[in-house]
Amino acid sequence: MSFERISEARSHGGSQGVYKHQSRATGTEMTFSVFVPDHQSGARLPLLWYLSGLTCTSANVTEKGEFRAACAEHGIIFVAPDTSPRGPGVPDDSEGAWDFGLGAGFYVDATERPWSEHYQMWSYVTDELPALIADEFPVDMERQGITGHSMGGHGAMTVALRYPERFGSVSAFAPIVAPSQVPWGKKALSQYLGPDQTAWRGHDAVALIEDGARIDELLVDVGTADSFLDKELKPELLEAACRDAGIALTLNRRLGYDHSYYFISTFMADHVRWHAEHLNR
C-alpha cells in the first residue's frame, strides 16, 4: 500500500509528518497526519487515533491540538485522518451547507446516492487506514486508543463501541453522543443512510449502548460555554446511558470553555496521559 509524504518536521523530540495516498474505500486521494516520538530501534509504540469534527481536516488538530509534547513524553504515536473524501468529483451539499457534505462525512459508509460512491469513511477509518498505518509505522496494534472532537467524538465512540476488543482506551471532546436525536445527526444520517432509523443506531453511541454495546471506561470533556451543548451534544444522554449500562464514565464539564481548539488544546495533554495510563498497563 503506497503513500506519499507531503511534509515532515522535527517537533518535541519526534517527527510530525503529513501524508497522502489513493484510497480504495473512498475512491479519492486522502490526507492524514502522523506524529512519531523518538524511540529505540525496533520498538513498537502505542497508537492514539484522533477523529476530527465538522469542517475540519487533519490539519486542524495537527496545527492547533498541542498533543506532541504529551505524546513524546508518553511514547505514543498520534494519527489524524481527514473527515471526508474530497476532490472535484466528490458531491457536496447542494446549498453549500457547512454541516453536511465535504468535511462532514460523519464516519459512516453512505448507502444513499450520490453519497455512496465516495463517502465510505467508516471503512476508511476502521479498515483501510489502520492497515496502512500498521504496515508503514512502528505501531503496536495491540495497544490502540481512540479519541475525537464533536463529529469526531461521535465517530470515536461508535467505532470503539463496535470494536471494543481493538481499543484499550476511549475518550472524546464535546462529542455528538446521540446523533439520531439532534439536528446535525438527523441531517447527516438521513441523507447518508436513508430514512430507516434502525440503520442509524449503529452510528449512535447512546443507541449502541442501549442495544447492548459495551466498553469498560470512557473519558469525555465538554465546555459549559459551548454554544452547541444543549442542542447538538446533549452529554446528559450519554451520562444516563452509561449509568444504566454500568460503563465507567468520567464526564468533565469545563467551566467557561467553548467548542474550539482553545478548549481542546487546553485538555489534550490530560487525554493523552489518560490514554497512556490505559495503553501501558
| The three-state (H, E, C) secondary structure of 114-135, written as one string | CHHHCCEHHHHHHHHHHHHHHH
The active-site residue, picked from 33, 150, 169, 171, is 150
Tens digits of residue pLDDT in 161-195: 999 999 999 999 999 999 999 999 999 999 999 99
Whole-number average pLDDT of the chain: 97
Question: 18 with 33: CB under 8 angstroms?
Answer: yes
Whether 109 is catalytic: no
The active-site residue, picked from 74, 118, 259, 271, is 259
Domains of the chain in start order, with CATH, are: 3-280 (3.40.50.1820)
| pLDDT at res. 105 | 98
Integer Cα distance of 17 and 231 in angstroms = 36
Say how many residues make up the chain: 281
Phi-psi region of 96 (alpha: psi -120 to 50; beta: other; left: phi over 0): left
Single-letter amino acid code for the residue at 247: I
Whether 150 is catalytic: yes
Integer Cα distance of 15 and 218 in angstroms = 29
Give me 136's grid cell: 508503514
Tens digits of residue pLDDT in 105-160: 999 999 999 999 999 999 999 999 999 999 999 999 999 999 999 999 999 999 99
| pLDDT at res. 281 | 82
- Main-chain dihedrals φ then ψ at residue 183, nearest 5 degrees: -55, -45
The active-site residue, picked from 226, 271, 275, 278, is 226
The model scores a pTM over 0.95: yes
